[in-house]
Each structure stands twice: as structure tokens, then as C-alpha cells.
Amino acid sequence: MDDTARFSLLTFNINDDATSASSPAGWTLAAQHAALRQLVLEHSPDLLCLQECFSFPSTLVDHYDFHGSTTSHRGSCHVATRRGSALGADGPTIAAGPCILVPLRLGERRLFAASAHLAPFAEFDQERARQLADIVRAVPADVPLVLAGDTNMRERETGQAAANGLADAWLESGSPPEQRWSVNTCVNRYFADGHAFTARYDRLLYRGCTLLGFAVTADQPCSDTPQHYLSDHFGLVASLRLDP
């Protein structure tokens, strides 16, 4: 196994303009940013993809280099690489709709990383399909692509990944039920007036790589207060290896 071709990632819709309705007294956005920093540093991913950023994630700049951003329907999307990682930027970024694409190099190998926040609401499935196809077309067909973020895709849209030549990390990991939902308002009461549902909006889609590990993260309360979570979404962590 070629360990020099391995890298790890974390993707997270951080919902940066609001704290949970279940937050304890005195919890602020500054406390939320500090908790995000702790989460990221605990995982220490080579590649970091964030969505719904309403302010620059400045608490992470001592450990991560940020490589541009683009706006979506809600906040901005960012891609960053960990300082000291073998993974680093290798050229100018590309904005493809609500997605920032960053050319990277890992040793002698090239790849693209993408942080995306696709169109919301069930009725805009065709818009999401168009956005996904546009992102894939923006990257040379022979270059590996890692597309992470809040896709807003419903279960009936799962086939769109394969239609664009991308594997779905949750499916490739064996579809473990305990790692399925990135939104679960049955336990995460982030909005006081929200209805109870589960969804797999956040996804990791890729080509030219082999998946080595996959899990949901930030899926436990972030304080001693039950139902208090860091975001209305959970994050995803994964490790991959570039194919020869």
C-alpha cells in the first residue's frame, strides 16, 4: 500500500450565522468557533471543506491554509489544507456555481478538491443535477476529484453521482445505517420550530481514489446540554488513497 498517496478529509456545513436553540445560557458564536476549532484539530484532516461560512474561519489559520472561497445560496464554501501536510495547493482556484474547486498536489500526483453547497429544497433536484454536472465538467477527466459538502440531495437523487462518474463514500463503505444521516432533527433540535426528520444531505463523492475509511462526526452534543449540537448538520470524515 502506498502511504504517500493517502490523505484524510473533513467536510462540515457549520451554519455559521446562528447558534442552536438548545444552546446553554451564555453560548456565543465565539464559543461555537472555538468548538469548531477543537473538532477540526482533533481530527487533523489533510483536507478541510466547510460550507455555510458567514465569517472567515480565522480560528483555524494557524493550522490551515485557505485556498479561496465562493458564495452559495447561504454563506460561503471554503477549502483548506493542513500546514505540514504533504497535500497542498497547485494552482488557481475555480468557482463552479456554488462550489470552490482547488487544484492540489500530493507528491507527484494531482487532484482537485471541491467544497460545495448545492441548491436547497426537494423541488430543485434538476438544478442540483445541473450544478453537479457543471462541477465535474470543470475538472479534466483524467484527474482525480474529491467533491465534499452539503449537496442537499434527496434519496431519489443518489444515482446522480454514478451518472457523473463519481462514487458515493457512504455507499462504498457498505451503507452503514449508523453513519447514514448528516441531518437528524429527531435528536438535534437546532431550530426550536423545526420538524423531525432525517436526511443524507451531506455527501462525499469522488473518482480516481479508493476509500479507506468513512464516518459521521459532530453527531454528539457539544456541551453538557442535551440536544445542543455544533451545527444543524453533522460532519463527515474520511480517508482515501489516490489510485495508481
pLDDT at 13: 98
Write the pLDDT tens digit of every residue in 154-182. Answer: 999 999 999 999 999 999 999 999 999 99
Q: Alpha-carbon distance 168 to 170, whole Å?
A: 6
In terms of phi and psi (left: phi > 0; alpha: psi -120 to 50; beta: otherwise), the region of 233 is beta
- Burial label for 155, CB within 10 Å (0-12, 13-18, 19+), is exposed
Asked whether the predicted pLDDT for residue 30 surpasses 90, the reply is: yes
Domains and CATH numbers, the chain: 3-242 (3.60.10.10)
Predicted structure pTM score: 0.97
Cell of 71: 458564495
Residues 197, 155: contact at Cβ < 8 Å? Answer: no
pLDDT at 91: 96
Residues 182, 153: contact at Cβ < 8 Å? Answer: no
pLDDT at 193: 87
Residues 58, 66: contact at Cβ < 8 Å? Answer: no
* Amino acid identity, position 75: G
Give the H/E segment covering residue 94. Answer: strand 94-95
